Amino acid sequence: DAKTTQPPSMDCAEGRAANLPCNHSTISGNEYVYWYRQIHSQGPQYIIHGLKNNETNEMASLIITEDRKSSTLILPHATLRDTAVYYCIYGSGNTGKLIFGQGTTLQVKP
Amino acid sequence: KAGVTQTPRYLIKTRGQQVTLSCSPISGHRSVSWYQQTPGQGLQFLFEYFSETQRNKGNFPGRFSGRQFSNSRSEMNVSTLELGDSALYLCASSLARNYEQYFGPGTRLTVT
C-alpha cells in the first residue's frame, strides 16, 4: 500500500500562510496526490489534488516538486476554522480506495 | 447539490446483534466507498462499490458486507457485532473510480 510521510503536528498563526509538507517518494508517474482534511468528528473534506503541475482552487494551493517525490499544501490565510487533521494521499490507482496515514494536525492560533 | 447523506447518524447496539447502515451518494456519483474510523487504527478502507459491484475490499472479516443498488445508494452490514466494531463509519462518493471522493458525516456506532 502507498505510504506518505507527514509531520504529526504543526502550528500556524491566524492570518498567516500554513504550509503543510508531504513526502511521497514512491509515487508512480500516473498517480495523483490528493489532500483531504478532517475537522473533529466530521467526515473528511476534499481539498485539492494534482499530478505534476501546481494547482490552486478556492481553498488552497498545491505545490508538487519536479521529481514528484513531495508536495506542499498551502492555506494562504489560515483561520481558526482551518484547525483540522490534514491528510496527504496517493496510490489508489484506478480504484476508489483511499489509504489514509496519520496526517498532520494543524492548530491555527489567534 | 445535496451532499452525501448517511443514516442513521448515531446507533447503539448490543454485542452479537447486527446492524445496517445506509449511504446516499451525491446525485450522479456512481462510486461509493466505505471507511471505518477508530482512535486506535485511524481511517481504514472497508470496501468500494461501482456499478452495483464490489470492486475492492479492505482487510476486514466477513462479518462486514455491503451492497450497492441501481440508484447508486449503498448499504453496509455488520453481523455479530463485537465491542471493537464501535467506530465512526464513513461513506464517500465520487463520479467514478479514481476521482476525488466526497464524504458524508458518518454514522457513529457504539456496541455495548
Q: Which of A26-30, A63-67, A72-76, B87-91 has the lowest mean pLDDT?
A: A26-30
Partners of residue B102 in chain A, C-beta under 8 Å: 46
Taking an 8 Å Cβ-Cβ cutoff, which residues of chain B contact chain A?
4, 31-33, 35, 42-45, 48, 50, 55-56, 58, 88, 90, 92, 94, 97-98, 100-106
Check residue A18 and give its pLDDT: 98
Partners of residue B4 in chain A, C-beta under 8 Å: 43
Distances (CA, A) of A72 to A5, A18, A52, B97: 12, 10, 12, 25
pLDDT digits (tens, 9 = 90+) for A10-29: 999 999 999 999 999 888 87
Closest CA to A22 of A110, A106, A108, A103: A103
List the single best residue of A49, A90, A98 to mutate versus B (max B Cβ within 10 A): A98
C-alpha cell at B68: 450497492
Check residue A1 and give its pLDDT: 64
Closest CA to A29 of A91, A97, A80: A91
Which residue in chain A has the smallest CA separation from B91?
A43
Q: Is the pLDDT of residue A92 over 80?
A: no
Partners of residue B104 in chain A, C-beta under 8 Å: 43
What CA dihedral angle connects B56, B50, B7 and A48, to 10 degrees? 80
Q: Is the pLDDT of residue A2 over 70?
A: no
CB contact under 8 A, A49 and B100: yes
Residue B105 per-residue DSSP state? -
